[in-house]
Structure 1
């Protein structure tokens, strides 16, 4: 009987040992990432195409950052509008979230007065709800994100109420938390956080890095995607210590534990939008 007990204990120890090793497979003895999954997409690398070809030259342009807006997967893409653009009333088959990068954008029902949202403003558009989108400015760009595709434009006679409510959050109304308000920011770090949404294990937030920031965002999610909304930062790829300059519309990501080394030496703050299913800390 004792022999059987000893065998059972040995098996349990082996299982626990294997489990611990699995958790540490991407970290070396110094806590460094062994096989980094960090990746960068520069705004200059984005391929643009017409978002709604039926509108010809008046169609907004779309540039995919990640995913596939024509497929069934979660996707993030940039949408570009000409000055004076105004869509007819329409609906979408999926809910989307969006952030203004450049210019001014209005998004609401057809009867609403214009509420122009500038850089760093955030809005949501529920699926099935009739609305219009307008833009004014020399250059108008927004980051658009869906949790599942495809992303389609449909007529208002197919409108439906899914119970969701839209949100328009102007940049001037965003509430920022510093190191004295959240433990997600290291003490004395030149950074602030604003939480935007949370849904089914995912969350979206803004991180603002002040001029002179020299540190890192440490993340552990299998989903971590960050888009530069305003400003410019330097990002160091750990695979080869290659430094990349990320301008507005550029992005960085990872799919495992990661250290995102960042510096901001441009003299102005940098605003980053982050989507993740894990925890993170700004150091």
Structure 2
């Protein structure tokens, strides 16, 4: 229990938030978390009917107002790698098409996130999307040719890229290993249109590629030295709004129970991660390719299983905060 208290105090000092009472959940920016039309978890459902059946009878006798209904229950969503529901992006060519596994949102009409898998040796084809998207490699080494590129830049597991909307590119998987990545559109639907690359053109200035070996890491808690989680923000401003962040957790590390003011989505790139409520005695162990969604205001613990360092990526719908709460169930 002493080590738990030390970690908790260190987090409070670094983040400057202090121990305080839990705040009401902030719904965050309207990127949504619904799984409309996807059929794979993620929906924060639970709002029931407010009908006050039996009004006018003895049920409400002596009362001038109805009892307020309980708010929908918030739950952590976990989809293990083995449980992902894969299907062809192009149903008319299921054997040749990249495979996709929806995670949140409706790909056809709203902000969304999904996993995409491309067979090794795929040369791809030039195309565009109407909207911009963020991508993180989970397996293999895909590349994304842009106007004027002479040769592809391999983006191995842990690498990040940003593809601007309306810009022609060719997403390839030239190695022998299949490529898998998380893709998320924060502002609208996912679509696809054939295009042509300009050999004498130049890369769009908004296109970003960050190879994992070049990502700059900083300690979340410098006083903990090599026992501190390491973080690297790859897009956005974590102090003011939505952002994407890479995390490295030491093997065996566990946070104290805490909450955030905004929902976030997470994927595991390496190691085994657990993200669970403090009273969960048998949390699901998430290996590479697993996904979870953490609702705002819900107390949880994030941990890395002993034996191997954990690497993960999270997309938060609002700025970063960390509010410690009383741990349930005693010593963690």
Q: Above 0.5 in TM-score?
A: yes
Residues 253 and 218 (structure 1), Cα distance of their counterparts in 2 relative to 1, 3 Å cut: farther
1:213 to 240, 248, 253: 253
Give the structure with the larger helix fraction. Answer: 1
Per the TM alignment, residue 149 of structure 1 is displaced from its structure 2 partner at its CA by 2.9
Matches within 5 A, 1:264-283: 264-276=304-316, 277-281=318-322
Matched residue pairs, number? Answer: 248
What corresponds to 1:146 in structure 2?
185
Give the structure with the larger strand fraction. Answer: 1
Matches within 5 A, 1:159-238: 165-179=206-220, 187=224, 189-198=227-236, 201-216=241-256, 218-238=258-278
2:155 is equivalent to residue 114 of structure 1: no
- Is contact 1:235–1:260 with CA below 8 Å preserved after alignment? yes
SS of the aligned residue for 2:219 comes to: coil
2:176 is equivalent to residue 137 of structure 1: yes
What corresponds to 2:78 in structure 1?
40
- Is contact 1:39–1:253 with CA below 8 Å preserved after alignment? yes
2:126 to 89, 92, 100: 89
- Deviations for 1:209-245, whole angstroms, at most 9, x for unmatched residues? 0112122473423321111122212333446443111
TM-score in terms of structure 2 length: 0.66
Per the TM alignment, residue 44 of structure 1 is displaced from its structure 2 partner at its CA by 2.0
Q: Which runs of 4+ in 1 moved over 6 A?
A: none
Q: Distance in 2 between matches of 1:217 and 1:156?
A: 49
Per the TM alignment, residue 205 of structure 1 is displaced from its structure 2 partner at its CA by 0.6
Task: Structure 1: state its 5+ residue gaps.
Answer: 1-20, 27-34
Task: Structure 2: state its 5+ residue gaps.
Answer: 1-20, 27-72, 199-203, 325-332
Residues 22 and 245 (structure 1), Cα distance of their counterparts in 2 relative to 1, 3 Å cut: closer
Further displaced range: 132-141 or 87-96 = 132-141
- Is contact 1:71–1:149 with CA below 8 Å preserved after alignment? yes
What is the RMSD of the two structures over their aligned residues, measured on CA atoms?
3.1
